[in-house]
C-alpha cells in the first residue's frame, strides 16, 4: 500500500498540529485519564488521515467492460436526463464512497478524453439524490475507439472540500489508469448509454479496478 501524493502535505501538517497539541496537553493537563484519552484520540486521527490517502495495490480486471472507478456502495441505478454534455437520456449508476473507502478514482475503460470540466457548487451529503446536480463536481467524458462514450462525474460530499482530476481533453488513457482523487467523503456517477448490460445492483459493494458495473 502506498500513500497518494495529494495526501503527503496534509499528513505532515496534521502531524505537526498533533505534536503541538500533544505538548500543550502534557504541559497543562495533569489528570492521567483525560490526558491519555486525548493523546489516543490524536493518534487515531493521524492514523485515519493516513489511511484515507492510501493507494491499494490491485491487479486490474482488464477486459471489454466498464469497471467501477471508485470503491464504495451502489446507491442509484436509474435513467436520467443528462443535460451537461449529452442532452439526452442516460443510465446513471452512482457509487457512494464513505470516509473509510479508498478515494482515488481510476478510468473504467481504455479511451480518449473528450471533455473535462470543473463545476463549483454546494456540499450536500454525497448520497443525497440532488448531490450530483448541485454539489461541487468535475465531469469527464471518456470515449472508446468504437465511438461509445460515458460521462464520469466526481461529486464532492458534505466532508469533501477538494476534487482533484487529472483528465485533459485529448488525453488517451488506459483502463485502471488514475483519474484523480476526492477528499473526505463523496461519490462517483456514471452516465452510460441506456442499452448497456448492467452488472451491479443497488446496495452492492464495488471495488475500483475490479468490479464490472456494466458491459457495452
**186 has catalytic annotation:** yes
- Listed residue (86, 160, 162, 84) closest to 128, CA to CA: 160
Tell me which DSSP letter residue 38 carries: H
- Cβ atoms of 6 and 53 within 8 Å: the answer is yes
Altogether, the residues listed in the chain come to a count of 216
Distance CA 96, CA 72 (A): 5
- The single residue of 68, 131, 139, 186 carrying the catalytic annotation is 186
Alpha-carbon separation of residue 9 from 36, 67, 93, 105, 207 (angstroms): 27, 30, 33, 20, 27
- Cβ atoms of 187 and 155 within 8 Å: the answer is yes
The grid coordinates listed for 78 are 436509474
Bridge-partner residues for 3, per DSSP? 54
Within 10 Å of residue 77's Cβ, how many Cβ atoms?
Answer: 18
Active-site residue list: 186
Amino acid at each position: 500500500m502506498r500513500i497518494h501524493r495529494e495526501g503527503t502535505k496534509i499528513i505532515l501538517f496534521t502531524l505537526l498540529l498533533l505534536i503541538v497539541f500533544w505538548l500543550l496537553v502534557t504541559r497543562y493537563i495533569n489528570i492521567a485519564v483525560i490526558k491519555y484519552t486525548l493523546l489516543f484520540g490524536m493518534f487515531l486521527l493521524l492514523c485515519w488521515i493516513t489511511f484515507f490517502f492510501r493507494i491499494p495495490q490491485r491487479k486490474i480486471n482488464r477486459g471489454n467492460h466498464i469497471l467501477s472507478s471508485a470503491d464504495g456502495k451502489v446507491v442509484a441505478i436509474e435513467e436520467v436526463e443528462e443535460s451537461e454534455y449529452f442532452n439526452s437520456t442516460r443510465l446513471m449508476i452512482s457509487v457512494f464512497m464513505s470516509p473509510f473507502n479508498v478515494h482515488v478514482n481510476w478510468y473504467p475503460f481504455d479511451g480518449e478524453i473528450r471533455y473535462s470540466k470543473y463545476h463549483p457548487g454546494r456540499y450536500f451529503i454525497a448520497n443525497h439524490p440532488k448531490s450530483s446536480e448541485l454539489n461541487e463536481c468535475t465531469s469527464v467524458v471518456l470515449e472508446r475507439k468504437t465511438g461509445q462514450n460515458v460521462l464520469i462525474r466526481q461529486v464532492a460530499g458534505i466532508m469533501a472540500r477538494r476534487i482533484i482530476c487529472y483528465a485533459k481533453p485529448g488525453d488517451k488513457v488506459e483502463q485502471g489508469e488514475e483519474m484523480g482523487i476526492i477528499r473526505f467523503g463523496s461519490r462517483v456517477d456514471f452516465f452510460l448509454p441506456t442499452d448497456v448490460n448492467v452488472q451491479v445492483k443497488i446496495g452492492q459493494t464495488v471495488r475500483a479496478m475490479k468490479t464490472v458495473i456494466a458491459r457495452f
